[in-house]
Amino acid sequence: DIQMTQSPSSMSASLGDRVTITCRASQDIGNYLSWFQQKPGKSPRRMIYGATNLAAGVPSRFSGSRSGSDYSLTISSLESEDMAIYYCLQSIQYPFTFGSGTKLEIK
Amino acid sequence: QVQLKESGPGLVQPSQTLSLTCTVSGFSLTSYNVHWVRQPPGKGLEWMGRMRYNGDTSYNSALKSRLSISRDTSKNQVFLKMNSLQTDDTGTYYCTREGIYGGYSALFDYWGQGVMVTVSS
């Protein structure tokens, strides 16, 4: 199975900060990487697909990038509504595997 | 509009079988794959398995011996059955869809609200 190593597991940032979350894949997954946001008691929401593509309705302050086997989700200017847990997902090979999640808190 | 909705018993006894239904609307099961994902309380997401648009299935190897996914296209429903339940199967179970066209652009764009399942005697 492909392992997705996500970091950090938690972080705290101030409103307006630039925030970056990273996932590293244990094998080549190309651009088959998505990012999801999950708020308490809610279903996951897709934010980024294909490593760099913004999903419909997602604010433009969110972006995705790739450098080799490292994938990043960046929030350019943190807003209070961004407080959530973020997960990456690889979908190139079954079983699909999620990262362990990053809990983002507002200072 | 596109909707997925999970349903099933909230409480299952240990060693028993879990049966869940994902009822979809706004799209056809013959044009989309439907996946099941679960989440233990306070923990991360785990991909369980998939019903393909053509009826084929794929399962997480960690669950394969206990898991079965089927469907009824006439009722727009996908079913999950998992036997030999234990307490660590407690969690929220979600269904989500994947379009067969558009590559990864059509992956997991809509999710159900989830159904909480507690395994306890």
pLDDT-based confidence at residue B100 (cuts at 50, 70, 90)? confident
Task: Evaluate if residue A67 carries a pLDDT over 90.
Answer: yes
- Is B111–A45 a contact, with Cβ atoms under 8 angstroms apart? yes
* Bridge partners, residue A36, by sequence: A46, A87
**What are residue B103's phi and psi, to 5 degrees?**
55, -140
**Average pLDDT in the B79-87 region?**
97
Task: Evaluate if residue B69 carries a pLDDT over 90.
Answer: yes
**Average pLDDT in the A28-55 region?**
97
% of chain A residues with pLDDT over 70? 100
pLDDT-based confidence at residue B105 (cuts at 50, 70, 90)? confident
% of chain B residues with pLDDT over 90? 93
Exposed/middle/buried for residue A19 (C-beta within 10 Å: 0-12, 13-18, 19+): buried
Say which residue the tokens 């294909």 belong to: A50
**Average pLDDT in the A10-21 region?**
98
pLDDT for the residue B49: 97
Task: Evaluate if residue B102 carries a pLDDT over 80.
Answer: no
Could you please report the per-residue DSSP string of B79-92?
Answer: EEEE-S--GGG-EE
3-class SS of residue B63? coil
The two structure tokens encoding residue B44: 């991360």
- Give the chain A residue whose CA is nearest to the CA of B38: A43
- Is B45–A87 a contact, with Cβ atoms under 8 angstroms apart? yes
3-class SS of residue B105? helix
- Give the chain A residue whose CA is nearest to the CA of B48: A95
- Is A44–B111 a contact, with Cβ atoms under 8 angstroms apart? yes
- Is A98–B45 a contact, with Cβ atoms under 8 angstroms apart? yes
Answer whether A54 touches B (CB < 8 Å).
Answer: no
Alpha-carbon distance A47 to A20, whole Å? 14
Q: What residues of chain B lie within 8 A of the CB of A55, using their CB? A: 109
pLDDT for the residue B64: 87
Task: Evaluate if residue B101 carries a pLDDT over 90.
Answer: no
If one counts every other C-beta atom within 10 angstroms of the C-beta of residue A52, the result is 14
Residue type, A29: I
Answer whether A46 touches B (CB < 8 Å).
Answer: yes
Strand ranges for B1-121 from DSSP E: 3-7, 11-12, 18-25, 32-39, 46-51, 57-59, 67-72, 77-82, 91-99, 107-111, 115-119
Q: Distance of CA B50 to CAs A105, B1, B69, Å? A: 33, 22, 7
pLDDT for the residue B116: 98
Per this entry, what is the length of chain B?
121
**Average pLDDT in the A3-28 region?**
98
The two structure tokens encoding residue B82: 């998992």
Could you please report the per-residue DSSP string of chain A?
Answer: ---EEEE-SEEEE-TT--EEEEEEESS--TT-EEEEEE-TTS--EEEEETTTEEPTT--TTEEEEEETTEEEEEESS--GGG-EEEEEEE-SSSSPEE---EEEEE-
pLDDT for the residue B51: 98
Among the partner-chain residues B45, B59, B105, the one whose CB lies closest to the CB of A53 is B105
pLDDT for the residue A77: 98
Task: Evaluate if residue B103 carries a pLDDT over 90.
Answer: no
Query: Mean pLDDT across chain A, nearest whole number?
Result: 97
Residues B115 and B93 sit within 8 Å (Cβ to Cβ): yes
Answer whether B42 touches A (CB < 8 Å).
Answer: no
pLDDT for the residue A104: 98
Task: Evaluate if residue A94 carries a pLDDT over 80.
Answer: yes
The per-residue pLDDT for range B35-52, each reduced to its tens digit, is: 999 999 999 999 999 999
Q: What residues of chain A lie within 8 A of the CB of B51, using their CB? A: none
> Residue A43: which of B20, B80, B81, B116 has the closest Cα?
B116
